Structure 1
Amino acid sequence: MSPFINLDGKRALVTSGTRGAGAATVALFRELGARVLTAARSRPDRVDEAMFVPADLTTPDGCAKLAAAVRERLGGIDVIVHMLGGSSAPAGGFAALNDAVWSKELDSNLMPAIRLDRALVPAMVAQGHGVVIHVTSIQRQLPLPQSTTAYAAAKAALSTYSKSLSKEVSPKGVRVVRVSPGWIETEAAVRLAERLAKDAGTDYEGGKRIIMDSLGGIPIGRPSKPDEIANLIAFLASDRAGTITGTEYVIDGGTIPTV
């Protein structure tokens, strides 16, 4: 019996695929038969050099370098997963966010997708097929004013851009979809929960509860695992999702409280 999802022969790019949900996505894509490239500023020891491109994707030059590597190493592209994102903005609300902070958040969470799509999606259109997956965030609907205003705004812009791109290229055979995660239990999230637990004099589960409470609660009672995010992305990238385009899939354990 053939597997439900098969990515045999697919040429895929997964940005920020060396840790967290990105690494889980790279591993699953390879397990399902795809040829995968990923990129980050530096290569961790555990990442295969043959599938890695050192590039700073917050810069135009880094995106151009990665796009050239995709053409050279893969000979084309069938799937792009824009996983790169994150925030280093200071706490303190909107007044603490100067122009440099805003530029950094946009350069991390919006511009890499725009630049890489501009470089690679025309080839998808020319071949008549392809899938682009933009990883957004529930923060675009549920921003935390003290800490994620700029990040949330950048992810909202990414979501709007993604919808517009889907309307342009879907009639030409290229599907464009969004995946919107809530809190994911990555290595960085574990470290944060441990720090909060220590400060509050509680254990790791207590630290997790502090984070979940700050989000207004997670009805399912836990964060998502990186593998669970990867499972959704793999399905959307596969031919099983052949008529899914232009929409967003929220995977947040029920965190968003509205319809």
Structure 2
Amino acid sequence: MSPFISLDGKRALVTSGTRGAGAATVALFRDLGARVLTAARSRPDSLDDGMFVSADLTTAEGCATLAATVRERLGGVDIIVHMLGGSSAPAGGFAALSDAEWRKELDLNLMPAIRLDRELVPAMVAQGHGVVIHVTSIQRALPLPESTTAYAAAKAALSTYSKSLSKEVSPKGVRVVRVSPGWIETEAAVRLAERLAKEAGTDYEGGKRIIMDSLGGIPIGRPSKPADVANLIAFLASDRAATVTGTEYVVDGGTIPTA
């Protein structure tokens, strides 16, 4: 019997694929038969040089280098997963955000997708098929004013850009979808929970509870695992989702309240 999902023979680019949900996506795509190229600023020992590119994607030069490598090593691409994102902005609300901080958030969370799509999507259109997945965040709809204003705004911009791109290229055979994670229990999230637990005089589970409470609670009682996000991305990238485009899928354990 054929597997429910297969990416056999697909050529895929996953940005920021060395840690967390990005690494889980790279591993799953390879298990499903895809040839996967990934990029980050530094290469972990677990990835071979042939399918990894060291590039700073917050710069136009880094994106151009990655796009050229995709064409050279893969001969084009069938799937792009824009996983890159994050925030280094200081706490303190809107007044603490200088022009430089705003620029850093946009350069990390918005511009890499725009630049890489501009380089690679035209060839997808020319071949008549492809899938582009933009990883946004529930923060775009549920910002934390004390600490995530700029990050949330950048992800909201990414979501709007993604919707516009889908309307332009879906009629030409290229699907564009968004995946919006909530809190994911990555290595960085574990460190944050441990730090909060130490400050509050509690254990790791208590630290996780502090984070979940700051989000208004997670109804399933835990954050998502990286594999939870990767599983959704793999389905959307596969032919099983052949008529899915222009929409956003939330994977947050029910964090965002809905009417």
TM-score, normalised by the number of residues in structure 2: 0.99
Tell me the secondary structure at the aligned position of residue 256 of structure 1: coil
Q: Which amino acid is the alignment partner of residue 74 of structure 1?
A: L
Q: Which amino acid is the alignment partner of residue 73 of structure 1?
A: R
2:193 is aligned to 193
1:8 is aligned to 8
Aligned counterparts of 2:183 and 2:49: Cα–Cα separation in 1: 30
1:49 offset after TM fit, Å? Answer: 1.6
Q: Which amino acid is the alignment partner of residue 183 of structure 1?
A: W
| Aligned-residue RMSD, C-alpha | 0.5
2:33 is aligned to 33
Aligned counterparts of 1:192 and 1:49: Cα–Cα separation in 2: 31
Aligned counterparts of 1:40 and 1:102: Cα–Cα separation in 2: 22
Tell me the secondary structure at the aligned position of residue 81 of structure 1: strand
1:177 is aligned to 177
1:230 is aligned to 230
Bigger shift: 38-47 or 152-161? Answer: 38-47
Q: Which amino acid is the alignment partner of residue 197 of structure 2?
A: A
1:48 offset after TM fit, Å? Answer: 1.9
Tell me the secondary structure at the aligned position of residue 134 of structure 1: strand
Aligned counterparts of 1:47 and 1:202: Cα–Cα separation in 2: 37
1:22 is aligned to 22
Aligned counterparts of 1:200 and 1:90: Cα–Cα separation in 2: 21
Aligned counterparts of 1:122 and 1:169: Cα–Cα separation in 2: 9
1:55 offset after TM fit, Å? Answer: 0.3
2:215 is aligned to 215
1:247 is aligned to 247
Q: 1:190-216: CA deviations, max 9, x gaps?
A: 010011111111110000000000000
Gaps of 5+ in 2: none
1:29 offset after TM fit, Å? Answer: 0.2
1:71-220 equivalence runs, <5 A: 71-220=71-220
Aligned counterparts of 1:36 and 1:195: Cα–Cα separation in 2: 34
Q: 1:56-80: CA deviations, max 9, x gaps?
A: 0000000000000000000010000
1:258 offset after TM fit, Å? Answer: 1.9
Gaps of 5+ in 1: none
Aligned counterparts of 1:5 and 1:149: Cα–Cα separation in 2: 37
Aligned counterparts of 1:180 and 1:120: Cα–Cα separation in 2: 23
1:35 offset after TM fit, Å? Answer: 0.2
1:238 offset after TM fit, Å? Answer: 0.1
Q: 1:73-121: CA deviations, max 9, x gaps?
A: 0001000000000000000000000000000000000000000000000
1:44 offset after TM fit, Å? Answer: 1.2
1:185 offset after TM fit, Å? Answer: 0.2
Please identify runs of 4+ aligned residues in structure 1 that moved more than 2 A.
Answer: none
Tell me the secondary structure at the aligned position of residue 150 of structure 1: helix
2:67 is aligned to 67
Aligned counterparts of 1:247 and 1:121: Cα–Cα separation in 2: 18
Aligned counterparts of 2:202 and 2:2: Cα–Cα separation in 1: 48
Aligned counterparts of 1:203 and 1:50: Cα–Cα separation in 2: 42
Aligned counterparts of 1:58 and 1:157: Cα–Cα separation in 2: 16
1:51 offset after TM fit, Å? Answer: 1.1
1:146 offset after TM fit, Å? Answer: 0.4
Q: Which amino acid is the alignment partner of residue 103 of structure 1?
A: R
Aligned counterparts of 1:122 and 1:99: Cα–Cα separation in 2: 32
Aligned counterparts of 1:225 and 1:219: Cα–Cα separation in 2: 15
Tell me the secondary structure at the aligned position of residue 227 of structure 2: helix
